[in-house]
Amino acid sequence: MSSQPNLPIPPPLDLEAIRARLDESKGPQFWRSLEEAAGAPEFQAWLDHEFTDGTSEWSDGVSRRRMVELLGATLGLAGLTSCTKQPPEKIVPYVTAPEDVVPGRPLTFASSIPGVGGVAAGVLVESHMNRPTKIEGNPEHPGSRGGTDAQTQAAILGLWDPDRAQTVLREGRNSTWQRADESLKLLREQMLSRKGAGFRLLTETVTSPSTGAAIKDLLATFPEAKWVQYEPAGRDNARAGARIAFGEPVTAVYHVDQAAVIVALDSDFLVSGPGAVRYARDFADRRRNPASGMNRLYAVEPTPTPTGSSADHRLPATSAEVEGFARALAAELGAGTPAATVKNAAFLKAAVADLAANKGASLVIAGEQAPPAVHALAHAINAALGNIGKTVHYIDPVEVSPADQAAGLKELVGEMQAGKVDTLLIAGGNPVYNTPADLKFAAALRKVKVRIRLGEYDDETGAVCHWVLPMAHPLECWGDLRAFDGTVSLMQPLIAPLYEGKQLIEVLAVLLEKGGREIRDVVKEHWRAQIGASTPHFDDFWQKSIHDGLIAGSASPAKTVALRKELAAELGAAPAGGDEVLLRPCPNVQDGRHANNAWLQELPRPISKLTWDNAVLMSPATAQKHGASNGSMVRLANAVTGPVWIVPGQADGSIVVHLGYGRTRVGKIGNGVGFSAYALRTSANPWRVLGAEVRNTGDSQVMAVTQEHGSMEGRAIVRKASLDEYTKQPDFATHEEKKHKLFSLYPEWKYEGYSWGLAVDLNACTGCNACTIACQAENNIPVVGKDQVNRGREMHWIRIDRYFEGSIDNPAIHHQPVMCMHCENAPCEGVCPVAATTHSEEGLNQMTYNRCVGTRYCANNCPYKVRRFNFFLYSDWDTKSLHGLRNPDVTVRSRGVMEKCSYCVQRINWARIDAERESRRIKDGEVVTACQAACPSGAIYFGDLNDKTSQIVKVKADTRNYALLTDLGTKPRTSYLAKVTNPNQELAPRAEAKPAHGGNH
Amino acid sequence: MTQLFPRNANSIARTSILLALVGVGGLGAALYTVNRSSYNSGQLIVKEQPVMFSHKHHVSGIGIDCRYCHTAVEKSSSAGIPPTETCMSCHSQIWSDAPMLEPVRESYRTGKSLQWTRVHDLPGFVYFNHSIHVAKGMGCEVCHGRVDQMPLMYQQNTLFMEWCLDCHRQPEKFIRPKDKVFEMGYKPQGDQLALGAKLVADYKVRKLTECWVCHR
């Protein structure tokens, strides 16, 4: 990553003035950045320049003489490039063709990919002649229902990442698996004689039953050996909370679709954590049709999350206040816990009344990082409300061993320090980087005599280990994993390991002298032993299970649980309030595991819209207190230094820092991006640092943030109303527009064949970003790097605009995915001098790359700012492994070419060819765009507007349907269903009093 | 004052202007010719292959159907190049020790693929689909020529975009009944244009000339 901070650092913000401006409602109703809210001249300048400063000029100080040289060379080379002769190409057929492979047509295989906590995401993987290129959700998988999250979409880039560990290393030198196996066999001999004393296995959370069985086998063979699990963003708190509430670490499974009222306590259950993809779908299903009633979501959280922005009422609260709120809620609802006071009594009262009125149809969810007490309280409240068995049920833990990971790690480090550990096998994870700073893991690790590392990257941990063994990517593995509800999800390899990677179970097999067996058979035999007796025709059953990607009916049965009487006593005292620093896994790179994934690094974070960086997130008031503005460098607890980013809606007094950055040894992409917040972590308080000193160093840094990119200058872009307003005026979104009739001088074009259209339901969209990454994977979209993002040159075909509404301290937050509108009267088409962008008979706004000469007139003339230009050769044409990643049905663009959303025309073309071959029309649902397929909440609809029975026609007939900037007469084919919120009448409505349909013209 | 220029200066000036014009024109013409030539298009050029495979022998000599080897032509974008196994299904029995076929046997023995040189090579930004053309009554011969008379394979047509559009604009000039698609040397019964117009209507052939049909 080259960072060229030659962009000017913006002047500090006057937050008081912004607050006053917004309070007096002179400011815009919807705003995207503090600069916009302030009406800052810099923001206006940004808007006025179509391609932003520096996009059209040389930015690295080119002299006049050099310029002339370059011009001359350009002239010469420009002519020459058109003279390339196509290089000869080889055709390499099979020797023996495999069954089912038809060249040119991809096959799809079901598999599973582990997420944080080892919980399975059920996926279908597209494979072009055994080359996996695209991941989709598995519609039959309970955790997916066809949707995926951004990380699962990006896993395909992780597979082809050229920076993965490529070979066995012994003390930094190339070695072989054969040598490693010999050493492992020697190790086995030594362990046998000592019953495994001094051997420790450190893994991430294991949910795989077959791997779990192998580990148990290992512990039985070597009784003195120990197994420790550690994940920095693991579920310790959830397990501890369940232990307090029920005495056992049960896993909660929510039925969000059954809940009319939901209270999220510091929980981002719609986007992160196990089951989020499923919950998002279930949540959206109760908001898709406001006319037939809506659920209501209350969110109490320190920093805005996608879940908080989907909430009808959101209360910013420090983590102590969240717990106080939970305690008060529990006491009020008769959960038998002591009373507590809260700052915002009205909010509590409204939530209590709503929950009490919906007994058995309500739900309280505690967040993954919330303290154990909040989890316990949430369980107690759900029990008191009679929700257990209705909106939530409990199952045996999905983990093989639900041990307290922090305690286990602490014990392990103690033993390592004391010299009691001879051999440590670290499989997965990255403890040198991501363990709490106070444990000093790296120093302890150096005291271990033999350190073996099995990892996907030769990373920070690998650097301290004697052996580095490349680990197979999940798409290279046979295996099994459990989903959020316990469903056994099966993994099958899409490709042989690219870099001779192996799985943990293979390494364990050597230690157990059970090597030589195919892992496919190991997994199968494991399940034959488990369920073979009760399953007739097990081989057929297994074949079907592999095909489906899961073992049907294997979801864990609901467990009967009873609240413990000691619960109230074990909650302990309410936590001390005060200024705090909260540590959170990054919404994109999570605990740092995806740090080398360029797609996720460049993907704007859902709320802050930051790319390529983490930041010290603070509320406007907190920033004022510390004299900080966006980009000001602050030092936290004298341990880490990072730039401030001001987040409207954050709780005052809570500073949030995302983990997962500041990697030093992961690869070309992730090294040196952001700063590592693990230095702030202690094993006693992994998520919260109370009373940390915050010192403004006086320096500043430029941040690559996309929140102002593609602004449509405050026109009525997001439209919303409350349920009451909607009931009174169902066409609130277009009510004003209908008064002005637009007419055209030209006759209307008749679309006689197909007529494609897309709609996005803003009521379902959570801003989770899955669509953006799905689009990037499907359409071979390159990344550009921090410096280029700063110049407004990011290439995403779908940007998700995030709007704030109302006050600076607790604004409502809205998300709006914006892709090409495929206008019927497209302004871009008329201005192209070479007819590279034209209109198709099916209504598509076509972009023909090989015709484009790069004038950029089209982007200039696009009112929606959805066109992207390849200022440089952004696509990596040289790295061989990335060739494997590319979708062969989409051109890889070169420098100087404009591109934009195509409505996945390659998918339309395939569907059209298949239909035409059978002499029929394309059926509704046959063309599914990549964004539509990925969307966890099903917010995106696509189809043929001429097929009057199609879903898209029904969706577009909804009274909420509106299009952007229709007054320009562009007639967009992409439209939006306006957002309807369901606020509680008891709570004073937020700043707005009237439905927002007009914006601030 | 003496004259600065000699008397013939005018003639020299005129001639050099003329020559310059001719030169520029000639250069343009030369570039145009090169661009259109088979040097650029690859038309009619026989390329070296690992095995001197004769379509003439296999198609007109033995009468093997196109689809025996190009199995994917009715299903996929690619027609498919046969795996070594397909060659060996006959050549393990006949000509089983012909020296010419050694690369095929070697491939079968070692499991290493034969590497053919692509004859019909479209640029990376052009997406062609065999299956739909075949399904709509476009004969192999229309694009690939009389393969049954080619001892060594070559590219019959230019594969220029104008050549594609020629048919996409007027499919009736080239369309044939579906049962004649794989026939070589097909002669229409009666007037091609009249029959073609009927077939275009019968097969619901659309005159797709939009960019995104082929470029995406």
Same domain, B149 and B206: yes
Domain range summary for chain A, segments of one domain joined by +: 15-53+708-740+754-981, 96-230+411-534, 236-395, 580-705
Residue of A nearest to B123 (CA): A86
Inform me whether the C-beta atom of residue A93 falls under 8 Å from chain B C-beta atoms: yes
Domain total in chain B:
3
Residue pair A14/A798 in contact by the 8 Å Cβ criterion: no
Q: Indicate yes or no: CB of B211 within 8 angstroms of CB of A851.
A: yes
Report chain A residues whose CB lies below 8 A from the CB of B131. Answer: 913, 917
- Asked if residue B4 belongs to a domain, the reply is no
* The domain made up of A96-230+411-534 is a member of CATH 3.40.50.740: yes
Same domain, B59 and B159: yes
**Rounded distance, CA A232 to CA A235, Å?**
9
From the CA of A918, how many Å to the nearest CA of chain B? Answer: 9
- DSSP assignment of A58-87 equals --S---HHHHHHHHHHHHHHHHHHTTPPPP
Report chain A residues whose CB lies below 8 A from the CB of B114. Answer: 92-93
What is the pLDDT at residue A1000? 38
Looking at the partner chain, which of A90, A841, A849 has a beta carbon nearest the beta carbon of B210? A841
B-facing residues of A in 823-862 (CB < 8 A) are 838, 840-841, 844, 846, 848-851
Residue pair A641/A633 in contact by the 8 Å Cβ criterion: yes
Same domain, B165 and B207: yes
From the CA of B3, how many Å to the nearest CA of chain A? Answer: 39
Give CATH for domain A15-53+708-740+754-981: 3.30.70.20
Report chain A residues whose CB lies below 8 A from the CB of B81. Answer: 91, 93, 103
Same domain, B59 and B107: no
A-facing residues of B in 56-95 (CB < 8 A) are 71-72, 75-78, 80-86
Closest CA to A359 of A390, A332, A395, A327: A390
Fold of A236-395: Dimethylsulfoxide Reductase; domain 2 (3.40.228)
Residue of B nearest to A780 (CA): B216
Q: Indicate yes or no: CB of A95 within 8 angstroms of CB of B135.
A: no
Domain assignment of residue B18, given as a range: 9-36
Could you read off the pLDDT of A854-906 as tens digits, one per residue?
999 999 999 999 999 999 999 999 999 999 999 999 999 999 999 999 999 99
Same domain, B161 and B175: yes
Task: Report phi then psi at B119, rounded to 5.
Answer: -95, -50
- Asked if residue B171 belongs to a domain, the reply is yes
What is the pLDDT at residue A559? 93
Inform me whether the C-beta atom of residue B108 falls under 8 Å from chain A C-beta atoms: yes
Across the A:B interface, residue pairs with CB atoms under 8 Å apart total 123
**Rounded distance, CA A798 to CA A795, Å?**
9
Residue of B nearest to A842 (CA): B210
- Asked if residue B19 belongs to a domain, the reply is yes
Same domain, B87 and B146: no
Q: Indicate yes or no: CB of B216 within 8 angstroms of CB of A909.
A: yes
- Kindly state the tokens that stand for B88: 């060996």
- Asked if residue B86 belongs to a domain, the reply is yes
- Beta strands at A423-427 and A450-455: parallel, antiparallel or unpaired: parallel
Same domain, B174 and B76: yes
Task: Report phi then psi at A265, rounded to 5.
Answer: -100, 100
- Asked if residue B193 belongs to a domain, the reply is yes
Which residues lie below 8 Å from residue B111, measured CB to CB, with a gap of 6+? A95
Same domain, B136 and B108: no
What is the pLDDT at residue A999? 40
Interface-testing mutation among B67, B77, B212, B213, with chain A (most A C-beta atoms within 10 A): B212
What is the pLDDT at residue A993? 39
What is the pLDDT at residue A47? 67
Report chain A residues whose CB lies below 8 A from the CB of B69. Answer: none
- Asked if residue B136 belongs to a domain, the reply is yes
Q: Is the dihedral of CA B173, B177, B180, B185 positive or negative?
A: negative
Identify the segments of chain A with pLDDT beneath 70. Answer: 1-8, 25-28, 46-62, 74-83, 710-714, 716, 988-1001
Inform me whether the C-beta atom of residue B6 falls under 8 Å from chain A C-beta atoms: no
From the CA of A890, how many Å to the nearest CA of chain B? Answer: 6
Same domain, B59 and B158: yes
Which residues lie below 8 Å from residue A312, measured CB to CB, with a gap of 6+? A296, A297, A298, A981, A982, A983, A984
Interface-testing mutation among B104, B125, B158, with chain A (most A C-beta atoms within 10 A): B125
**Rounded distance, CA A640 to CA A882, Å?**
35
From the CA of A749, how many Å to the nearest CA of chain B? Answer: 16
Helices and strands (H, E) in chain A, number of each type: 32, 41
What is the pLDDT at residue A626? 93
Same domain, B137 and B166: yes
Q: Indicate yes or no: CB of A103 within 8 angstroms of CB of B72.
A: yes
From the CA of A879, how many Å to the nearest CA of chain B? Answer: 18
Same domain, B109 and B129: no
Residue pair A467/A455 in contact by the 8 Å Cβ criterion: no
- Asked if residue B49 belongs to a domain, the reply is no
Residue of A nearest to B127 (CA): A889
Report chain A residues whose CB lies below 8 A from the CB of B127. Answer: 889, 906, 909
Identify the segments of chain B with pLDDT beneath 50. Answer: none
Same domain, B59 and B98: no
Report chain B residues whose CB lies below 8 A from the CB of A849. Answer: 125, 215
What is the pLDDT at residue A4? 45
Residue pair A708/A42 in contact by the 8 Å Cβ criterion: no
Residue of B nearest to A893 (CA): B125
ipTM of the complex: 0.91
What is the pLDDT at residue A373? 94
Give CATH for domain A580-705: 2.40.40.20
- DSSP assignment of A348-374 equals HHHHHHHHHHTTTSEEEEE-TTS-HHH
Cβ neighbourhood burial of B54 (10 Å; 0-12, 13-18, 19+): middle
